[in-house]
Amino acid sequence: MDTAVPPEQSKLRIGVESVGRGEVVVVVRGELDCATADQLRSAITALLNRGDITAIGLDLRGLGFIDSTGIGTLVVAQRISQQIGVRLRLTAVSAFAARILRVLGVDVMLGLPAAPSDDAALVGAD
């Protein structure tokens, strides 16, 4: 179910899918930035306030852009979820988002598997 935000007012689409008892996946598409991060924050807060959620997966495959506000929103959501006993983790990520999260060092904290070592990239490096 997508949130009811007129397309002309948002560059972000958020859907919530139930995947099991107490478990949901939040599907995020578009741009997660300073203009849209409050929408994701509100969606996650509503899920946490329900009281029956034990795990939240974040599907960021459709994320075309993320800025520092969007990343901060993910980090804070993970911290708050952990404090109240809800597991929040990334279930899927676009290549763009994965690269940024890895560069900033928040990938593992958000549940993104560590990137495989690419020894071939080291060949010829000075």
Mean pLDDT of 2-31: 82
- Tell which residue, 2, 28, 15, 18, has the closest CA to residue 90: 28
Q: Where are the alpha helices (DSSP H) in 4-111?
A: 37-50, 68-83, 95-104
Order of all β-strands in the sheet with 87-93: 12-20, 23-32, 55-66, 87-93
Q: Which of 4-8, 59-63, 120-124 is most confident? A: 59-63
- Domain 7-110 CATH (choose: 3.30.750.24, 3.40.50.2000, 3.40.50.720, 3.40.50.150): 3.30.750.24
Taking the domains of the chain in order of start, what are their residue ranges? 7-110
For residue 116, pLDDT beyond 70: no
Task: Give whole-number Cα distances, 48 to 25, 41, 66, 89, 113, in Å.
Answer: 13, 11, 23, 14, 24
Report the helix count and the strand count for the chain, using DSSP H and E: 3, 4
pLDDT digits (tens, 9 = 90+) for 65-94: 999 999 999 999 999 999 999 999 999 999
Mean pLDDT of 15-29: 96
Quote the CA–CA distance of 102 and 107 in Å, as a whole number.
Answer: 5
